Amino acid sequence: FIWIVLYNKTHGLIETALCMVAQVPSSILGSLNGETAISCNHSESTYNVILWYQKPRGDSALKLIGYILYGNPTIEDGFQESFKISGDGSVKSQLEVEKLKAEDSGIYYCAASTHSELVNAYFGGGTKLTVLASGRDVTAPKEVKILGPSEHECRNSKDKKRKKTLVCVASGFYPDHVKVYWHMNEKNVTNGVATDEAAREEINEKNEVVYKITSRLRVYAKQWENPKNTFKCIVGFITANGTETPFPSKPIRGVQGNFFLELNLSPLIKICLSVHISVC
């Protein structure tokens, strides 16, 4: 199970919650003129329609591919040539794509509903499909590195507390099926993490399109200004067989900073105050 989105046609997105809507796989690397399939099932017995949507690469709009009701599929114009929908329509369905083309790349969603339109629909987690360019090999990240925070970073405007931002940059990979994780002292960190919504294209030395992604970790200054703390980012790269392979950066350590200087001076300050010495 992944997540659901409760969508109202009039008011738009109104609720997000956990639900038993399973969509697999989450990532597919396809070949030109090849074929692939995505499966969907759910536990909402009163929802007897399963719809399939495509979000093309570079487009924010969802396009209805078709739907199935009680085993009877309907495919929309523009998708009838190479898309097929099967299943019972009430709790499970499968989307098949044949003769894959570059424009088939995008994110695909199944949705359970009581109607053949997007009304009160429960969505699966999505499947990202990339149709690989002809002759291109899957290429792992060439470099994963962390950039330390700026010495001049300002206080957080919301809570007025001193914070530092670490930046992770991964580059040289193809296609853009990656996830970025942060570790502090070998433990996964999610608070303060902001990762690019989509990887950016760039051209490598072979004049090929590759990708670059940036992620930021914002921590309290006292965490960065502690040499005992270590920070590392890990890029999970989806390989051709669908497995996620980790590519970690070299860890970096916190630095001796003002926070620990203040801690070290505090006993001395107390001594000075106790004997009425104004300058130490």
For the chain, residues classed under CATH 2.60.40.10 are: 4-131, 143-264
Q: Are strands 244-248 and 230-238 parallel, antiparallel or unpaired?
A: antiparallel
Q: pLDDT band for 20, please (50, 70, 90 cuts).
A: confident
The yes-or-no verdict on residue 159 having pLDDT over 90 is no
* pLDDT tens digits, 202-259: 999 999 999 999 999 999 999 999 999 999 999 999 998 889 999 999 999 999 876 4
Mean pLDDT of 14-23: 61
Amino acid identity of residue 198, one-letter, is: A
226-248 burial code (b ≥16 CB/10 A, e <16) = beebebbbbbebbeeeeeeeebe
* pLDDT tens digits, 172-191: 999 999 999 999 999 999 99
More confident residue, 58 or 73: 73
In the CATH scheme, what is the code of domain 4-131?
Answer: 2.60.40.10
The yes-or-no verdict on residue 15 having pLDDT over 60 is no
More confident residue, 10 or 68: 68
Q: pLDDT band for 144, please (50, 70, 90 cuts).
A: very high
The yes-or-no verdict on residue 264 having pLDDT over 60 is no
**Is-contact 248 194, C-beta < 8 A?**
no
Alpha carbons 110 and 124: distance in angstroms, whole number = 6
* pLDDT tens digits, 76-124: 999 999 999 999 878 999 999 999 999 999 999 999 988 756 567 889 9
CATH of the domain spanning 143-264, picked from 3.30.360.10, 3.40.50.970, 3.30.2140.20, 2.60.40.10:
2.60.40.10
DSSP string of 46-105, one letter each residue:
T--EEEEEEEETT--S-EEEEEEETTEEEE-TTSTTTEEEEE-SSSEEEEEE-S--GGG-
Q: pLDDT band for 165, please (50, 70, 90 cuts).
A: very high
More confident residue, 17 or 25: 25
Alpha carbons 224 and 227: distance in angstroms, whole number = 8
Q: Would you give the DSSP letter of residue 240?
A: T
Q: What is the pLDDT of residue 153?
A: 76
